[in-house]
Structure 1
């Protein structure tokens, strides 16, 4: 499987070049021909930008001319698909913005919808959203969300996500609470799991900056739910639940509870990097009503500067009758992974139950045992 940067490869550039030459036989396309030589060391988005700029250089006409060429390539080249679609759609969006008229803008939106099933147009639509948010959202909410094509409906949600991975930000979206909620309202009951998953991820993004807006939307959906709504909402509020956001927890059925929490207890005070620690705890419902509990735990990692940063991990859910006691346990590994760097020194673990953190239990994370390999094996 290729690394992410290699998804747009030299072969991608050559395939795109052949497709454009087939659509416009008299085009020399020198910039496209030269592009593969300049890809080495570039991250994925820069590779997309390189091919976008090459297209715009080699096809210097107006937007209508570029759109005709792209549609000819789409209809005439069976391999006009996959990761080459990113730079193509990026060129379409850039040319429409440069043209500056409503007709080009609207046709660019239409062309992105036509192409999105061949990979995705979610990255390119950001350019149009940044240029004219109101016009783009009117098309997205009024047309894309009603499309018969699940790829287009997903594009409506995914393309407008506040924190879409690999994509440029749209400041007007992150600064405007709820501006994309009408798109989510139209799609949260969608028949396609593919679309609903995007809605959940969009809701999760929204909650990062505007938690109350996200919870308010979820509350409306749950007031008239489809069979799939509760699952979507749980996934969409997952980060808020990890943060202990009271409104999201209460909406999902985890209100405040009267508890006696013993622990967490750790089976060792010193944990070498590459090994694990076992945590246990006992929780008793000391209230006079049943308590539904979302039980997580937080590892408070030492940072390079000596500070602490907490990462929350799911543990379990339980319902306790008045006076009932339950025990929980979990092994937590400090095996080195590529997405986290461990720093030896003081760490701590705490529980978080329905958003309320317990006392922290400290331990020392020690340097890795030199007899272990990088993957933690002997």
Structure 2
């Protein structure tokens, strides 16, 4: 499989340079290609992205607004997708002294790829000024612009720096989220939910107060609320569980927890099953999760919680549940041999445990 960084290859740069030479008769196409590909092999995906912006700056007018006009002229000739992030990246590097023009450009370029990383430079420089503009983006008819309002202002956007001002005062983005809490587009709703889930890491009380004022019965808003609370639900946070009707100690017995095999090799499948028996006199909503405790190389243990099922258990009802999961390495998790604990939780409370041995 070809590495992702090969999106920025010589073929791409020839098309890229041609777009800019069409937009600017003074653009030195061949010289740009030689320069931008000179150390390409040693650069990562993001390294190639940033290098493109840095080299491009040498071949455009030094006056930012003149350079920006060339970016606008070249944009329709460029492919959409990750490589188009060069345009907002250039703006973030060289447009900081032209705040309003740069923010407008980020709004215009985001539909080609995304300006979510670039806009954070301007939020960091002047949070209130940037977020006031982004409040208008939250009402934009373009779905990509509305998503940018939420995604770009996330406190802890992956692969970017934290926005400390928003972590310290989460209400800074409240108007944006209020505007988008019932958005028709799932693309936007996912971003709003992830933005709120970021708050669950630093500002739980704020998040709970906000969600309690929203309409759980609205299909779009309710979806956002549930997805935004996923980390707190997995932790068994009482107030969150109560918000979604999972509160209180459930009178439920977990019976017959068993493994298909308690000895596995890396790449094989963990399969487990158990039965839940209600001891309640009324229907009880349950969120059923499981956790695996992974041994680490230094002898410590990492606990990872997985969602299994949400159910409504009738009085006296028994229900059998089963789950299979392949135990294999990922870029985010390397497995080590040894005993692994399996934990079953009901409404955030541990109900039963067992273990299996893994050989790698």
* TM-score, scaled to structure 2: 0.90
Q: Deviations over 1:22-70 (max 9, x none)?
A: 2221233645541122221422221111011112222252222222222
Gapped runs of 5+ residues in structure 1? Answer: 368-378
Residue matched to 2:274: 281
- Cα distance, 1:366–1:221 mapped onto 2, change above 3 Å: same
| Greater shift in the superposed pair: 281-290 or 352-361 | 281-290
Residue matched to 1:229: 221
Residue matched to 1:86: 85
Whole-angstrom CA distance in 2 between matches of 1:84 and 1:273: 36
The answer to whether the Cα contact below 8 Å between 2:289 and 2:306 also exists between their aligned partners in 1 is yes
Whole-angstrom CA distance in 2 between matches of 1:228 and 1:152: 19
How far did residue 339 of structure 1 move? 4.2
Whole-angstrom CA distance in 1 between matches of 2:195 and 2:134: 15
Whole-angstrom CA distance in 1 between matches of 2:259 and 2:80: 53
1:238 aligns with 2:230: yes
Whole-angstrom CA distance in 2 between matches of 1:45 and 1:168: 14
The answer to whether the Cα contact below 8 Å between 2:341 and 2:353 also exists between their aligned partners in 1 is yes
Residue matched to 2:322: 329
Residue matched to 2:212: 219
How far did residue 277 of structure 1 move? 3.3
Residue matched to 2:99: 105
> 1:60-71 maps to which residues of 2 (within 5 A)?
60-71=61-72
The answer to whether the Cα contact below 8 Å between 1:292 and 1:320 also exists between their aligned partners in 2 is yes
Residue matched to 1:34: 35
Residue matched to 1:18: 18
The answer to whether the Cα contact below 8 Å between 2:128 and 2:172 also exists between their aligned partners in 1 is no
| Greater shift in the superposed pair: 269-278 or 127-136 | 269-278
Match of 2:243 among 251, 255, 275: 251
User: Helix, strand or coil: the match of 2:138?
Assistant: helix
How far did residue 260 of structure 1 move? 2.3
Q: What is the RMSD of the two structures over their aligned residues, measured on CA atoms?
A: 2.3
Match of 1:116 among 110, 130, 134: 110
Whole-angstrom CA distance in 1 between matches of 2:24 and 2:240: 55
How far did residue 338 of structure 1 move? 4.8
- Cα distance, 1:137–1:310 mapped onto 2, change above 3 Å: same
| Greater shift in the superposed pair: 209-218 or 62-71 | 209-218
* TM-score, scaled to structure 1: 0.86
Residue matched to 2:131: 137
Whole-angstrom CA distance in 2 between matches of 1:173 and 1:263: 47
> 1:51-62 maps to which residues of 2 (within 5 A)?
51-62=52-63
Residue matched to 1:370: none
| Greater shift in the superposed pair: 105-114 or 230-239 | 230-239
| Greater shift in the superposed pair: 294-303 or 333-342 | 333-342
Residue matched to 1:371: none
- Cα distance, 1:150–1:313 mapped onto 2, change above 3 Å: same
User: Helix, strand or coil: the match of 1:343?
Assistant: coil
- Cα distance, 1:269–1:226 mapped onto 2, change above 3 Å: closer
- Cα distance, 1:15–1:313 mapped onto 2, change above 3 Å: same
